[in-house]
A and B are shown apart, each in its own frame.
Chain A
Amino acid sequence: MSLELKNYDRRNFLKNLGLLAAGAVVSTGVGSLVSPKTVQAAAPALPWAFATLDTAVIRRRAYDNYWISGCMYASAKALLDTLYETSGAPWNSIPADMFKYGKGGAFNWGTLCGALNGSLYVINLATGTSVDQLGPELIGWYTTNAFPSNLMDFYARFTAVKQSVADSPLCHISVGKWADLTHYEINSDEKKDRCAKVAADTAVKAAELMNAWKAGTFSGVYVPAAEFASCLSCHNGAASQLDNEQGLANCTECHDDGKAPHM
């Protein structure tokens, strides 16, 4: 089928794909099946409908999923599985394995925390363009939240774990601060348990924001702290004086060392 379709121009291929698939079912009649392995339905437009989510289920699943394939996989799969159970298709059309890359801030490079990355994908699917309000709220919350919570202590591998605030959405800083505080090695079981809880806490927060959005009660509360809000007003955004900085994270996490002339 793909060879035949190569004769069409590209726009027609994309435009007609769904019609051809549906037509094949109708014209071939009795006994013909559309194999999901060869001809798949085109992805529905966003946002995808969802029912209010059970955050306790998501928390437990994300904690458990972490031990299979890391933080991004854990948060995304916990949300996707629960969405499929409560809302059905098309929530089963996104393969959770595609989120394995995000562990350790993308293949252990320490960039965007995978728990955030996976949650942001699902928020984008569930809320469409409203991710531009919910997403920054989740990221802002992450940077100010004391991780990990103790809500998993009755099934977690380690209990009463020390908490730290990342002041950053970066895995490098989030994990590094916690390791400095607790003196556990990055590859220790204790650190893995901490990140499993971070993935769960973050997926739950994403579900809470989605539930609030669905209920029409979402209202963003995150604001940058005073220590760097003054930086943003000069450096960040089209209306700022200089508009020469890309990023909304806490500037003083890195720029407290004299690199900026006025500090």
Chain B
Amino acid sequence: MSEVKEQANLSRRKFFIGSAAFAVGAVAAGATVAINPKVVAAAAPPLPFPYQILDVDLVRRRGYDYYFTGGCMYTVAKALMDTLVETVGAPWDTIPADMFKFGKGGAENWGTLCGALNGCLAIIELATGNDAETIGPELLGWYGTFPFPSSAHEGYCKVPNQITTISDSPLCHQSVTQWSVAAGDRISSAEKKDRCAKLAGDTAAKAAELLNQWKLGTFVAGYKPDADTARCFPCHVGPTSRKDNVQAQMDCLECHTDRVNHQLRRGK
């Protein structure tokens, strides 16, 4: 009701506030009127949404299974949200998992941000609010240094014992292409899909681990860029850097091995 009162002063929204007031008023008056969730959805509560400790293994398994329904971004978001609905309840059921389907293949297969990361970051934002500023980068950093896929899915996966690769990047393009080249499997193969299903399960599980730590008050950010990339940042990244002319936190030397003027090379 307080939200209704606050918003009543917003002239452009009077029509909609009036509609909501009618619906609430009808219930209060004793009429046997059920609010149809398909028509009158509640206004979104402020962040962070309530959170309780999640079963990481359950999230991992769901993150693997749902991949085959709607891709990497969908699967991590749905795995986390379904588990949050079961563990916490509302308002976690107000976010439609289908809205995350665009993120597959790094956003409609464009190879940008890995959908597993994109979906997890959204849930982290919902669960932790402003603390996502420290938890999100930790997940991004972990992703770039982890050998995907883990062996934690061997008991139920379609293609066991797969080769692992480290992407050094949060980009789907690097992550998938490097694995495909190393494994000798085509991007459209069942083997690659199984790899990405496992990666999604692993990333959702990691997000749940970080969220659990945050909930317990034990979260400590541990990711740091490797020494080669760390050398780039003081000159190029951030308002206090000398040039402040690069927008990124990724591993610079994944791409800039031969184009920068000072010819940095990994390990030199």
A-side interface residues toward B, CB under 8 Å? Answer: 1-2, 5-6, 10, 13-14, 17-18, 21-22, 25-26, 29-34, 36-46, 84-85, 88-90, 92-102, 104-112, 116-117, 120-121, 123-125, 128-129, 131-132, 135-136, 139, 169-172, 175-176, 179-180, 185-188, 236-238, 242-249, 254, 257-258
Tell which of B12, B101, B187, B239 touches A187, judged by Cβ atoms closer than 8 Å.
Answer: B239
With A84-B16, A89-B16, A112-B113: A46-B99 Cβ-Cβ less than 8 Å: yes
Tell me which of B101, B177, B187, B237 has the highest count of chain A C-beta atoms within 10 A of its own C-beta. B187
Contact present for B187 and A245 (CB under 8 Å): yes
With A88-B16, A95-B45, A185-B245: A101-B122 Cβ-Cβ less than 8 Å: yes
Total A-B pairs in contact (CB under 8 Å)? 297
Q: How far is the CA of A238 from the CA of B37 in the complex (A)?
A: 41
Contact present for A248 and B111 (CB under 8 Å): yes
Contact present for B250 and A111 (CB under 8 Å): yes
B113: shortest Cβ distance to chain A, in Å? 4
Interface: B86 (CB within 8 A): yes
Some 30 contacts from A to B, beta carbons below 8 A apart, are A13-B86, A14-B85, A22-B35, A25-B27, A39-B90, A40-B42, A41-B38, A42-B93, A92-B16, A93-B43, A97-B47, A101-B132, A102-B121, A108-B249, A109-B140, A110-B246, A112-B113, A121-B99, A136-B110, A169-B112, A172-B247, A175-B247, A176-B246, A187-B239, A238-B187, A244-B186, A245-B111, A245-B180, A247-B112, A248-B111
Binds A, one of B156-164, B167-175, B211-219: B167-175
With A2-B89, A169-B112: A101-B37 Cβ-Cβ less than 8 Å: no
Q: How far is the CA of A97 from the CA of B91 in the complex (A)?
A: 15
B62: shortest Cβ distance to chain A, in Å? 10
Contact present for B44 and A95 (CB under 8 Å): yes
B249: shortest Cβ distance to chain A, in Å? 4
Contact present for B140 and A106 (CB under 8 Å): yes
**Size range of the chain B interface in the assembly:** 35 or more
Tell which of A22, A44, A131, A236 touches B102, judged by Cβ atoms closer than 8 Å.
Answer: A131
Q: How far is the CA of A136 from the CA of B98 in the complex (A)?
A: 17
Contacts of A21 in B (CB 8 A): 37
Contact present for A247 and B177 (CB under 8 Å): yes
B112 to chain A: closest residue by CB: A112
Interface: B244 (CB within 8 A): yes
With A13-B86, A105-B247: A248-B40 Cβ-Cβ less than 8 Å: no
Extra contacts besides A84-B16, A124-B102, A254-B255 (18): CB < 8 Å: A25-B34, A41-B38, A89-B20, A98-B95, A98-B125, A101-B132, A108-B248, A109-B248, A111-B113, A112-B113, A120-B108, A135-B107, A175-B247, A186-B237, A237-B188, A245-B173, A246-B105, A247-B111
Tell which of B16, B37, B39 touches A18, judged by Cβ atoms closer than 8 Å.
Answer: B37
Q: How far is the CA of A187 from the CA of B255 in the complex (A)?
A: 23
Contact present for A89 and B132 (CB under 8 Å): no
With A13-B85, A109-B249: A41-B37 Cβ-Cβ less than 8 Å: yes
Contacts of B63 in A (CB 8 A): none
Contact present for A185 and B244 (CB under 8 Å): yes
Tell which of B43, B125, B175, B243 touches A97, judged by Cβ atoms closer than 8 Å.
Answer: B125
10 closest cross-chain pairs (CB), A and B: A247-B111, A41-B37, A110-B248, A90-B41, A36-B42, A30-B30, A238-B188, A246-B176, A95-B44, A43-B96
With A120-B108, A180-B245: A111-B171 Cβ-Cβ less than 8 Å: yes
Interface: B133 (CB within 8 A): yes
